[in-house]
Amino acid sequence: MLWRFLFLTIVVFLVVLAFIYRSTVGDFLYFARKEPLPAPLTAKDIKKQNSQTAPLVPSGAEGLPIIKDQAEEVAGPVPSAVEEPQVQEWEKANEAKMPLPAEINLAVPFTSQAPFTNWDLPYKESCEEASVLMLDYFYRGASLNPALANQEILKLVDWQKIKFGVYEDTDASQTAQILRDYFGYKNVRVQYDISIDDIKRELAQGRPVIVPAAGQLLPNPFFRQPGPLYHMLVIKGYKDGKFITNDPGTRRGADFLYSFDSLYNAIHDWNAGNVYAGRKAMIVAEN
């Protein structure tokens, strides 16, 4: 009789303990089941790889080596002496021809949009701020911690109130403007009507991609259901038919995996609140 009482007491104790520490237990089980990912590449790693690739050659001179004293004889002015739009055209053409790697994972630091798990305002509306912050810190080669991220998000919210009058639900164009005007990135673009390969191509060049999304279409079990109407997140890589993301909508959003189709189907711009009819868009900045 005594052993039954002791057994029941132990079972009840373990159940109570599991309930109290359910979040910690959940984290342990989640991270134990996470798929292995490719080694993360920093912005410096990407620059080093790019510096080892063949130099850009104008049309008509493909396959010919560019030697400084022969460059103008072979193909006219070298790219550095050509108008910038033409150089960018050559770069994009070359990128489109390059085979995509089987997998890639950029070392984008993670922060939740609620660094201290406070999901009241402004944090529940701060996915855009967290996304641009992660992209900026990737290019800076710096790490994020909750205190720093919290401070940066609040500064961004205040800046947007002055700049836009509001900080909630910034669309792709406004988010690109934040990268230009607040962070000082000169080369920022929004690309619309994108494909999965368009996203992969940017990642293959070492450029993290920010995408707006209809949050309730994202299959993320860690969202407060039914999920946000509008959301924004960073795509940092891909492997085995899945995008590797930093999703700020949950504290477990670091390296969160979405299948290509599930994430692509959810990509929609704000579109004045008619999110499901919003165009597919991505925001890309270059350092």
Is the model's pLDDT at 3 over the cut of 60? yes
Residue 29 placed within a domain: no
Residue span of the structural domain in which 180 resides: 111-286
Residue 70 placed within a domain: no
- Say how far apart CA 251 and CA 264 lie, in whole Å: 22
- Say how far apart CA 249 and CA 215 lie, in whole Å: 9
Residue 250 placed within a domain: yes
The predicted structure's pLDDT at residue 267:
98
- Say how far apart CA 243 and CA 96 lie, in whole Å: 20
Domain count within the chain: 1
Cβ partners under 8 Å of residue 100, min gap 6: 197, 200, 201, 204
Angstrom CA distances, 206 to 67, 77, 212, 286, stand at: 27, 27, 20, 9
The predicted structure's pLDDT at residue 53:
61
b/e code 24-63 from CB counts within 10 Å (16+ = b): eeeeeeeeeeeeeeeebbebeebeeeeeeeeeebbeeeee
**Mean pLDDT over the full length of the chain:** 84
Cβ partners under 8 Å of residue 62, min gap 6: none
Look up residue 218 and give its amino acid. L
The CATH number given to whatever domain includes residue 149 is 3.90.70.10
- Say how far apart CA 134 and CA 143 lie, in whole Å: 9
The predicted-structure confidence for 21-62, as pLDDT tens digits, reads as follows: 545 544 544 555 678 999 999 998 988 887 776 544 444 444
Q: What is the DSSP string of 201-259?
A: HHHHTT--EEEEE-GGGS--TTSSTT--SSEEEEEEEEETTEEEEE-TTSTT-TTEEEE
- Say how far apart CA 113 and CA 130 lie, in whole Å: 5
- Say how far apart CA 1 and CA 9 lie, in whole Å: 13
- Say how far apart CA 118 and CA 123 lie, in whole Å: 7
Residue 237 placed within a domain: yes
Residue 265 placed within a domain: yes
| Alpha-carbon 138 to chain mean position | 10
Identify the weakest region by mean pLDDT among 8-22, 180-194, 245-259: 8-22
Residue 9 placed within a domain: no
The predicted-structure confidence for 168-196, as pLDDT tens digits, reads as follows: 999 999 999 999 999 999 999 999 999 99
Mean pLDDT computed over 265-283? 98
The β-bridge partners of 281 are 192
Residue 220 placed within a domain: yes
pLDDT higher at 96 or 64: 96
Q: SS3 for 191? A: strand
- Say how far apart CA 232 and CA 128 lie, in whole Å: 6
Residue 132 placed within a domain: yes
Angstrom CA distances, 14 to 3, 18, 28, stand at: 16, 6, 16
